[in-house]
Amino acid sequence: MQLNEIYAPIQKDLVAVEDGLKSVGIVESPWLNDLLGYALKGGGKRLRPALAILSACFYDYNLERLLPMAMAVELMHLATLVHDDTIDNSSVRWGRPTVNKVWGMEKAVLLGDYLFAKAGDLAVSTEDMRVIKLLLQPLMLITNGELAQAASAFKLEQSREHYFFRISCKTAALFVFATESGAVLSKTPEKSTQILRGYGHYLGIAFQIIDDILDFIGTEEEMGKPVGSDLAQGIVTLPALMLMERYPQDNPVKKLFQGGDKKENIKRATEMVCNSTITQECFDVASDYRTKACQNLKNLPAKEARAVLTNLADFIVSRWR
């Protein structure tokens, strides 16, 4: 299934999110207008707002109450991307120049800060204390995860445990915010809320593993950003971990981190991942997380959204093919 087919049942509400985001970009300050307009018009899949909307479909669905939060989670996501690209000095995202490339590091940092504040502002406007608290958790976790990543960059002592900790923080935390907040704002009973929270968490992990596979086997065109960028930044993801586990004495990741030729070793690592069962093994791990994400959905009310959540999980893990 294509994403637009999966989104079909909530298409109208996603348009409302899109319109809301557009209105965030219209401010009095001319110096902010262009930046916001550019950042908000990216090529994102609006996956997090979709998760928020879908998670709100099981009980008392109210788009008006939901909308600020669905916008907040996307703004939070965009803010972290803008800061990430700035930190990594990335040039391309969604197949176009990054904010830092077009406007420079200075404005990119400030734009990220503004987006964080605006996300907070929107979350606060829900006047739901639990939702407000939920929003701040990911921001602390994301920065913590990114700092953990920065601290471990180019280090050979890496564990799967550390990898899963990092991706829980940097990716799954925001998925959890989307699903749990959607549940909370639709007066979902606690047991169902926890099911949706769990779905968000496991789906976030699966999503990031697939992203990390694509960084090895994708093309720049598919990804909208350069391939092999994780290793280039010294970030060890699951495929690289498996490579190191398989060839502990001698492998291109080790050579790279010990100062070997960058281009040559990244190319070699990519080839070794692509031409081995590592890709499939990573996919199997992601697939297990997809299963964990969906296994309790059957205990939610039998609404259309339940099938959509499953379809979305399937879409996310099938992106790698």
Q: Which stretch binds its own copies (CB under 8 A): 106-114, 185-193, 244-252, 266-274?
A: 106-114
Residue 307 Cβ vs its own copies, minimum distance, rounded to whole Å = 35
> Looking at 38, 114, 289, 320, which residue binds its own copies (CB under 8 A)?
114
Least Cα distance to 54 among 73, 38, 35 occurs for 73
CA distance linking residue 270 with residue 72, whole number of Å: 36
Asked if 110 is part of the footprint of its own copies (rule: CB under 8 A), the reply reads yes
Name the maximum alpha-carbon separation found in the chain: 59
Q: CA neighbours within 13 Å on the CB side: how many for 251?
A: 20
Interaction residues for its own copies, span 263-292 (CB under 8 A): none
115-154 footprint of its own copies as x/- string (CB under 8 A)? -xxx-xx--x--x-x--xx--xx-xx-xxx-xxx-xx---
DSSP annotation of 89: T
What Å distances lie between residue 126 and 113, 185, 188, CA to CA? 21, 9, 16
In the bound state with its own copies, the residue whose beta carbon lies nearer, of 137 and 229, is 137
Residue 75 Cβ vs its own copies, minimum distance, rounded to whole Å = 12
Residue 17 Cβ vs its own copies, minimum distance, rounded to whole Å = 20
In the bound state with its own copies, the residue whose beta carbon lies nearer, of 31 and 43, is 31
Q: Which stretch binds its own copies (CB under 8 A): 18-26, 28-36, 241-249, 267-275?
A: 28-36
Rg (CA), the chain: 20
Q: Which stretch binds its own copies (CB under 8 A): 101-109, 154-162, 188-196, 201-209?
A: 101-109
The one-letter code for the residue type at 53 is I
DSSP symbols for 182-221: HHHTTT--HHHHHHHHHHHHHHHHHHHHHHHHHHHH--HH
Interaction residues for its own copies, span 149-178 (CB under 8 A): 150-151
> How many residues of this chain bind its own copies (CB under 8 A)?
40
In the bound state with its own copies, the residue whose beta carbon lies nearer, of 8 and 136, is 136
CA distance linking residue 307 with residue 297, whole number of Å: 9
Residue 239 Cβ vs its own copies, minimum distance, rounded to whole Å = 23
> Looking at 87, 102, 223, 232, which residue binds its own copies (CB under 8 A)?
87
Q: Which stretch binds its own copies (CB under 8 A): 99-107, 200-208, 220-228, 299-307?
A: 99-107
Dig out the tokens for 279 from the structure. 């890709």
CA distance linking residue 253 with residue 261, whole number of Å: 11
Neighbours of 60 (CB within 10 A): 10
In the bound state with its own copies, the residue whose beta carbon lies nearer, of 112 and 218, is 112
Asked if 232 is part of the footprint of its own copies (rule: CB under 8 A), the reply reads no
In the bound state with its own copies, the residue whose beta carbon lies nearer, of 147 and 156, is 147
CB-based contact 290:316 (threshold 8 Å): yes
Per-residue H/E/C for 246-315: HCCCCCHHHHHHCCCCHHHHHHHHHHHHHCCCHHHHHHHHHHHHHHHHHCCHHHCCCCHHHHHHHHHHHH
In the bound state with its own copies, the residue whose beta carbon lies nearer, of 7 and 116, is 116
Residue ranges binding its own copies (CB under 8 A): 29-32, 35, 83, 86-88, 105-107, 109-114, 116-118, 120-121, 124, 127, 129, 132-133, 136-137, 139-140, 142-144, 146-148, 150-151
